[in-house]
Chains A and B, each alone.
Chain A
Amino acid sequence: MSEDKSKISELSRRGFIKVGATAVTAASMPMFFVKDAWAAKDFRNNPGNAGSVKFGFNVPQTGAYADEGADELRAYKLAVKHINGEGDGGMLNTMKPLSLKGNGILGKKVEYVTGDTQTKSDAARASAKRMIEKDGVVMITGGSSSGVAVAVQGLCQEMGVIFMAGLTHSNDTTGKDKRRYGFRHFFNAYMSGAALGPVLQKEMGTERKAYHLTADYTWGWTQEESIKNTTEALGWQTTAAVRTPVGAGDFSQYITPVLNSGADVLILNHYGKDMINSLTQAVQFGLRDKQVNGKNFEIIVPLFSRLMAQGAGDNIKGILGTTNWHWSLQDEGSKAFVKSFGQEYGFPPSQAAQTTYVQALLYANAVESAGSFYPPEVIKQLEGFKFDGAGNGPTEYRADDHQCFKDVLVVRGNEAPSSQFDILKVEQIVPRSQVEYDAKIFGGELGPYEV
């Protein structure tokens, strides 16, 4: 360093004091508005006397779950319309009990901001933070992956903003990772297993060997576990359970070993484009035409959606799975929703659309009932809330874990579809009592009301 001839070595004491003084002044300046942030605020993003409130719609617009995200966004926009009293009102006419009056929430007009989760925890949290810190949203909703849901839910708990989860099927979301500020309307992997069990027994008997391919994150893990528990209780054996990365695209390297494993059932714990790819490849490899152990080889996709079924085309025919909701249901709530969604966009809604639409309505309704946007009051309204007419029959938001309990649909890929949307046939509506469980089995803690 002896050759270093820069000015720094000639720094005088006076120079140092000057620089120091400048730095201190600059450093203290921002304290003005930090203080401002503390003053006169009883909870984060209190709308106060403003004429409108903002919702944050945080959905995947790119990546493996982008189709679901697009449908969620359509449903949210429709929900905002209905809450503000525009359009035909949709489920506002069928949901009971309901405090919403069709004039916004507590007289305030609902607006929204959107963000892209990219199905990545990092991006989803950054987007949610932007909504909370910059746009001042009172509630965040959306997401199409349990990994994202768990990550955003944790953030919302810290920030004190309510999170109404979208499409998330992992047991963890309302199990070990449950949060006081997080709510899930969608069903979960445990319920899928419980609903599928009896149907599988009837269709495939009790002597089967199952091979799992599992998306390698929280949802895949818990679904694999739940389905395994169910099938092993039936007397099935589990040959192997292989984890595959999300968004792999090509699953052939995972499917080839299935052929020689001696298994006679393939269970695909995949979702979105992953499921479309893995199912298509499994069918191309001729799995469904095979005979193993003297039985027809079967494929099961425990979590189905119509969007996925559409992507998988003919390969889906005859395959069993479960779903949260289907547009062909004939109750009043479903009919009203399908009608207004169809009028708006020209095609029927997916299960993702239904669950997110209902979530937005439930939040708005809870605020209206509470008479305040103050989150702890809203949470208390939602906890234990019983309602009907939202498409799933009588439903309850269980207070212990913020999970909705309702009927589950067992569906099968339609052998003779009458239209491009008529791809899934509802095989059985499994009553709520059959899929209920004790909230304690998954552990976890909700945490405090006040943050």
Chain B
Amino acid sequence: MIVPSIRNDWVIMAIFTAVVLTAPLWLTPVGAGYPDLLQKFAIFGIFAIGFNILFGLTGYLSFGHAVFLGVGSYTAVWSFKLLTMNVLPAVIFATLLAGVFAVVIGYVSLRRSGIYFSILTLAFAQMSYNMAYSVLTPITNGETGLQLTMNDPRILDGPAGQGLPSTTLFGLDMSGYAGFYFCAVMLIIAFFISLRIFRSPFGLKLLAIKSNQTRMKYTGFNTRPYLLTAFVISGMYAGLAGSLMAITDPLAGAERMQWTASGEVVLMTILGGTGTLLGPLFGAGIIKYFENIFSAMNDGRLHEIFSFLPDWLENIVVAITGEFVGDGWHLTLGLLFMIVVIFLPGGVVEGIRRANGFLRRLVQSSGTNTATLAAEKE
């Protein structure tokens, strides 16, 4: 998608906008063009982009990022319960509160780096997860999850009509495709901010922290404020993603804060390409696609797909592939992850770049043009 010759950020943004907004069209042939999955792509895209601002730029691997996702969700649902079903207050409060959490957790965790930082963030996340299940059940409703009820106050909305109200943006119902477009607009904004950060002096300083923090300190920079800012921005991204999850489906459960959710975003970023602009988006897309499409395949569906084969071969193929779909989808994902990490350390983005370079060499093999690919850091 990104040809290295394109330098103008506005062109990147325009292409990105067009691709995201037309997603329902080009994702339908692969079976992913339905609102819920499209929403998930956008939401986890935001989550991964935000995570990448911390991990990709500073190299600080947070293993507890899901806690901000959870905080965002709970805040958004409480905003629906107490204030109004309009989504804007939910988004704003969720992002801000996730930011506050990020300041507290970041302030403590960023005193250490490397593995100790990861362990600290993991500890905070597990603590929050367990608290959501135990002492905080009045706020989180424990395992059942926080849900809307008929007798919530909703002071700005007035008395509800028949049935549970749904989330709206000034009257526009936020389920189905409308919900996706709301998430998509948020994704585009989030991507734009991330792009600006990558291109800014602030982004450069973060990269400098990644390459050699000690040297940076010797030149007179206090790195801590920059790290904390990156951590908070990244936490707010996660809070935004969490609020969008609650907007498209007004229910918040503590399992969103579990360490597996934190691990998932790490996988997404690495799978797509750490430190690249678009990589985390690819990673999020791949993982969510596997989780929703591969996990739902059963033998009947496989027989349909392979029906062009002769019967005996079809049965063999289905028997083998059957192990990799349905409840075996983790296996497929694990294999894919291993292949990417071993052969494409730069993730899917590196794969695209290599393929691109290969094609270009094919085209230009006659000429002496040495338009090498100045491995541009996106």
State the A residues within 8 Å of B (CB). Answer: 1, 3-4, 6-8, 11, 15, 18-19, 22-23, 26-27, 29-30, 33-34, 37, 61-62, 113-116, 120-122, 125-127, 129-130, 133-134, 146-147, 150-151, 154-155, 157-158, 215-218, 243, 245-246, 445, 447-448, 451
Contact = CB atoms under 8 A, between A and B. Distances in A.
A48 B115 CA distance: 58
Interface stretch (B19-27, B75-83, B97-105, B363-371): B19-27
A126 B292 contact: yes
A125 B9 contact: no
Contacts of A451: 163
A447 B201 CA distance: 56
Contacts of A15: 10
Contacts of A115: 295-296
Contact of B200 (A4, A27, A37, A120): A4
Given A30-B181, A121-B251, A127-B296, A133 B144 contact: no
Given A26-B21, A126-B292, A216-B142, A4 B201 contact: yes
A40 to B, nearest CB: 17
Interface of B: 7-10, 13-14, 17-18, 21-22, 24-25, 31, 34-37, 40, 130, 133-134, 137, 142-145, 147, 150, 162-164, 166, 175-178, 181, 196, 199-201, 249, 251, 253, 255-256, 292, 295-296, 298, 326-327
B253 A122 contact: yes
B21 A29 contact: yes
A435 B199 CA distance: 69
A266 B253 CA distance: 30
A62 B291 CA distance: 13
Among B17, B40, B145, B178: residue with most chain A CB under 10 A: B145
A146 B249 CA distance: 19
A210 to B, nearest CB: 22
A121 B36 contact: no
B255 A126 contact: no
Given A29-B22, A130-B296, A154-B147, 7 more contacts: A1-B201, A8-B199, A22-B14, A23-B14, A30-B181, A134-B31, A151-B251
A348 to B, nearest CB: 24
Contacts of A243: 134
B182 to A, nearest CB: 12
Contacts of A125: 249, 251
Contacts of A30: 21-22, 24-25, 177, 181
A277 B18 CA distance: 53
A264 B14 CA distance: 71
A7 B13 CA distance: 12
Contacts of A26: 17-18, 21-22
Contacts of B130: 245
Given A150-B144, A216-B143, A29 B25 contact: yes
B36 A129 contact: yes
Contacts of B292: 126-127, 130
A217 B298 CA distance: 31
Nearest to B295: A116
B294 to A, nearest CB: 11
Contact of A133 (B36, B143, B201, B326): B36
A122 B43 CA distance: 14
B22 A6 contact: no
Contacts of B143: 147, 215-218, 245-246
A216 B142 CA distance: 7
A7 B7 contact: yes
A383 B307 CA distance: 43
Nearest to B329: A116
B162 A447 contact: yes
A130 B37 contact: yes
Contacts of B18: 22-23, 26
B147 A151 contact: yes
Contacts of B251: 121-122, 125, 151, 154
Contacts of A113: 296, 298
Contacts of A126: 36, 40, 292
A1 B37 CA distance: 38
Contacts of B150: 445
Contact of A1 (B147, B164, B200): B200
Contact of A6 (B13, B199, B249, B295): B199
Given A157-B163, A216-B143, A19 B9 contact: no
A128 to B, nearest CB: 9
Nearest to B201: A3
A23 B295 CA distance: 35
Contacts of A146: 144
A317 to B, nearest CB: 31
A158 B177 CA distance: 15
Contacts of B8: 7
A7 B9 contact: yes
Contacts of A120: 253, 255
A15 B36 CA distance: 35
Nearest to B301: A113
A182 to B, nearest CB: 13
B35 A133 contact: yes
A62 B327 contact: yes
A39 to B, nearest CB: 14
A133 B298 CA distance: 18
Nearest to B12: A7
